[in-house]
Amino acid sequence: MPDRRHTRWMRIRVLLATGFLLVCTAVVLYRVWNLQVNQSSWLRELSQGQYLKEITLEPMRGPIEDRQGAPMAVSVMTESVFAMPGQLTDPRLAGKKLAQVLGLDPKRLVRKLSSRKHFTWVKRRLSTELAQQVRDLSLPGVHFTAESRRFYPSRDLASSVIGFAGDGRGLEGVELMFDGELRGSTVLAQGLRDARGQLLFSEGVELPALVRGGGLVLTLDRTIQEIAETVLEETVSSTGAKAATAIVLEPHSGEILAMANVPTFNPNTFWKFTAARFRNRAVTDCYEPGSTLKIFTMAAALSAGVLQPEDRIDCQRGSFVIGAHTIHDSHRGGFEELTPAEILMNSSNIGIAKIGARLGKQALYQGLRQFGFGRKTGIDLPGESRCRLRKAERWSDVGLATISFGQGISITPLQLTVAMGSIANGGVWMRPLVIKEIRGPANELVERFEPEPAGRVVSPAVARLLTHMMVKVTEPGGTGTGAAIAGLKVAGKTGTAQKVDSITGGYSKDRRVASFVGFVPADRPRVVVLVVVDEPTSSPYGGVVAAPAFARIADGALRYLGVFAEEELPRAEAMVPAPVQNVPPKQEESVLAELSGQANPSPRIVLALERLPDLRGLSVRQALGRLAPAGLEVVVSGSGRVKSQQPPPGSPVARTTLVKLGLEKSPNAAGTEIAVVSNRKKKR
């Protein structure tokens, strides 16, 4: 009879074995499920990492254009050279040859090519000539790929506004401010590793197209920007100044037509310049405005009703004591009694200090804040400063007096320009605009920036009264006669301010800032212009240094915009200029070529010429556009803007009239030396 104990034990062992096998089977099944389902993505990436190598290629940035469509920043395709050290037969020889062609350090390059890396960049974004020289070396293991490169066709023109980009990223200016809109999508190019770990790319492989970013349309006008920069460069050179800034503003829209800083830099080679050159002084630099602030002290007093136009202020013959301090007027012998208009006309410190005292600390503080001082304007540019306007509670009695005439307060050039623009705009403060449109990758409109009024700062009546006072500043007897423009009324104010000595903490005796700000025509303002000259050595006075520069910039801008003095027009009906900004943007060379075969004038240019208009100060594009409807033959010599013309302005126009234009070369001009342009209609 079988042993029951033995049988029972056999069953237990079978059950244990069966259970163990079931557990093992379950573990294997779970592992298979985990690898095949749960971790499949991770394992796939890990597997690809063993044989795939990715190269990050920088995206194609979108373009930046001026208001007329002229390119200010574009991206162009260039070639970059890379090497696969494992494919090089002689890394030392290859490194020496490449270093000689590309201007690289041979020792460093040889070390890179002798490394155990599968991939290394040799040099990125080569010129066409350099790329061909590398190809001519026929080095195995050296390959090329396409990459985008940022190019600034106007070189240093408006460089402090536009800024620059490097390695696909915006680093300064609007390139930085709108980097997200301008950047395209990063492209990853993949290669294969073989069994030995070497990276394999087939020569000539087509990489995915670089996805372009969106574009920007600026409010700047390339021609007006060039006028401003040319005048500033000449002003700095002739006055021995340290630097200079100019802004041209359209008062009714708040759009910046030009924002110039000298010295400037070339963004195509930005690495050759110090960081100080990149600074946009118009929005970042704070300075004491001096007498240009008197306008706004006067505005606050007139608005508050504590001052009337017919009031007479005792200016005490040029010496006014406040506590332990004495305020002086620069005019020899001083003045006795002056009206508010005469105070501005003669720039009396004592007169405006007494007006400030009538107004009081709190009211003056509030008035200056309304005009935008002590706060940012909100312009779409990086690094804007708010500058210093202390609370009224911290002002002393002498502080009230000095702030009234622009000392003891700091502002940016942009703040002053926008504040003056509010007076030119009938008392309405407009937010300054430097971006007109944002466009998408397919050039579709994404956002348009419309004029943005931010409130009324003075009544229209006060704005008109201030304009009348400022016109007297530029007329005979005023301090700003150098800003006068023949045939046009100019409203403005001079400024001369001592700079603070960083060592002593007091005011420097020989370092000054000279300025002039105003608008023209005074009765129908088209542009507001500010010129600030830092530390001129020829003369410290704004009326001597900055006012003439204002006149040249304003006159050139107005001529370009089609605004002329009435006496320059032979008859009111003789010519009716269309808005110049509607002329299709072209480079001067291409315009010459286009118009030379033009059968009919552009439908956007509406002119009825009976007499020859004044073309001086215009660009070639604008001059030819004005003459096109008359079908005249034009001879152009030189480059830049029109300096002379024959026949002279006002001459009768006949079909056989030959117009000769002499151009004055400017640093940023890119015209032709001699061109004959026929606008006559062709016979069929």
Closest CA to 585 of 210, 223, 142, 272: 223
Q: Strands, E, within 84-141: which ranges?
A: 120-126
The gap between the terminal CA atoms of the chain, to the nearest Å, is 131
- The rounded distance, in Å, linking the Cα atoms of 500 and 491 is 29
- Report, in angstroms and rounded to the nearest whole number, the Rg of the chain calculated over CA atoms: 35
> Cα–Cα–Cα angle for 140, 144, 150, nearest 5°?
155
- The rounded distance, in Å, linking the Cα atoms of 82 and 408 is 58
Closest CA to 379 of 409, 351, 403, 412: 412
Phi/psi for 296 (5° steps) reads: -85, -25
- The rounded distance, in Å, linking the Cα atoms of 268 and 65 is 16
- The rounded distance, in Å, linking the Cα atoms of 181 and 143 is 32
Distances (CA, A) of 391 to 168, 289, 368: 44, 18, 11
- The rounded distance, in Å, linking the Cα atoms of 42 and 44 is 5
> Cα–Cα–Cα angle for 585, 588, 592, nearest 5°?
105
Distances (CA, A) of 243 to 417, 498, 574: 18, 15, 43
Per the DSSP assignment, residues forming a β-bridge with 185 are 211
SS (H, E, C) 514-539: EEEEEEECCCCCCEEEEEEEECCCCC
Q: Give the residue numbers marked as catalytic.
A: 291
Amino acid identity at 94: A
Q: How is residue 471 written in tokens?
A: 């016109």
- Whether residue 633 contacts residue 612, with contact meaning beta carbons closer than 8 Å, is answered with no
